[in-house]
Amino acid sequence: MTTRIRFLLQLGFTLLVCLFMIVPVVMSALAGLTENYFVGLKSGLTLRWVNDVWQLYADTIWLSIRLALACLTVTVLLGVPAAYGLLRSRRRWANAIEEALLLPVAVPGLATALALLLAYGHYREFRDSWLFILVGHVLFTLPFMIRPVLSVMRTARLPQLEEAAASLGAGFWRRFLTVVVPNCMSGILAGALMVVTLSIGEFNITWMLHTPLTKTLPVGLADSYASMRLEIGSAYTLIFLVMIVPLLVAIQWAGRLTVQHH
């Protein structure tokens, strides 16, 4: 009886915490679908605000998608070889580099953006390009690619597999592409989903680095709340959720896949 009461109390507490987090999101989404938020559902449901957001901010959505895919490409090309290098290195500085990878995560995004502005802001064409934002996103997300890949590599018995491949005449690049990469694919997948999700939702670095022509989805979202009707800002939030929630679900799925791999 005591065990059942404890279970019910824990369940009730968990449901309350979930409601505390989910209710504001649901209310914000509903505000973007109602004709007048202050009147409520009585005013009727509409997609007019979603359409207005698309007309006004579609370019920010497409830019965020382009940035996320470009960031994913760069982090995979840099992160997987970097993780492999850290795995194979037996020198002391390898551990220092691994810990230093967390600096972009620990340092406030505004500080990272300011450092980029001071270092490269005087290159006008680069400063006005979305590639400038891409550099900030790569600095921020690269650790989220290297860490899961390195974790999987450490449990995949790669030295033995590479030794077997080398005994059959496989060169370095063939071993890397046909042995290393396939055996750490679950880590690459988990890192890729994290990178895409973080890139799409990143605000602090982007807010400092963007120009009027390079607004991303989060910057446009902040702009819509600051200068438009509440319904438009809420509709923008709804679009953001439609993009990000499937990625979060995919991250959970990839996490289970990684656990099974281990």
Reported as a single tens digit per residue, the pLDDT across 164-197 is: 888 878 888 888 888 888 888 888 888 888 899 8
Question: Is the residue at 142 inside a domain?
Answer: yes
Length of the chain: 262
Mean pLDDT comparison of 70-79, 224-233, 246-255, highest-scoring range: 70-79
Q: Is the predicted pLDDT of residue 262 greater than 70, yes or no?
A: no
Question: Is the residue at 181 inside a domain?
Answer: yes
Share of the chain above pLDDT 90, in %: 22
Question: Is the residue at 49 inside a domain?
Answer: no
Closest CA to 62 of 217, 194, 213: 217
Question: Is the residue at 184 inside a domain?
Answer: yes
Q: Please give the backbone phi and psi of residue 228, each rounded to the nearest 5 degrees, phi first.
A: -120, 180
Q: Encoding tokens for residue 84? A: 């492999």
Q: Is the predicted pLDDT of residue 254 greater than 70, yes or no?
A: no
SS3 256: helix
pLDDT band at 258 (very low <50, low <70, confident <90, very high): low
Reported as a single tens digit per residue, the pLDDT across 87-110 is: 887 777 777 777 777 777 778 888
Q: Please give the backbone phi and psi of residue 45, each rounded to the nearest 5 degrees, phi first.
A: -95, 150
Q: Is the predicted pLDDT of residue 230 greater than 90, yes or no?
A: no
Global pTM value:
0.82
Residue partners of 11: CB distance under 8 A and separation at least 6: none
Q: What is the mean pLDDT of the chain?
A: 85
CATH of the domain at 202: 1.10.3720.10
Structural domain count, the chain: 1
Question: Is the residue at 4 inside a domain?
Answer: no
Residue partners of 243: CB distance under 8 A and separation at least 6: 61, 200, 217
Question: Is the residue at 203 inside a domain?
Answer: yes
The pLDDT value given to residue 260: 60
More reliable by pLDDT, 77 or 166 = 77
Question: Is the residue at 30 inside a domain?
Answer: no
| 201 within 8 A of 68, measured Cβ to Cβ | no
Residue partners of 98: CB distance under 8 A and separation at least 6: 86, 150
Whole-number CA gyration radius for the chain: 23
More reliable by pLDDT, 85 or 104 = 85
Reported as a single tens digit per residue, the pLDDT across 106-164 is: 788 888 899 999 998 888 899 999 999 999 999 999 999 998 898 888 887 777 887 78
Question: Is the residue at 32 inside a domain?
Answer: no
Domain that holds residue 200: 58-223+248-261
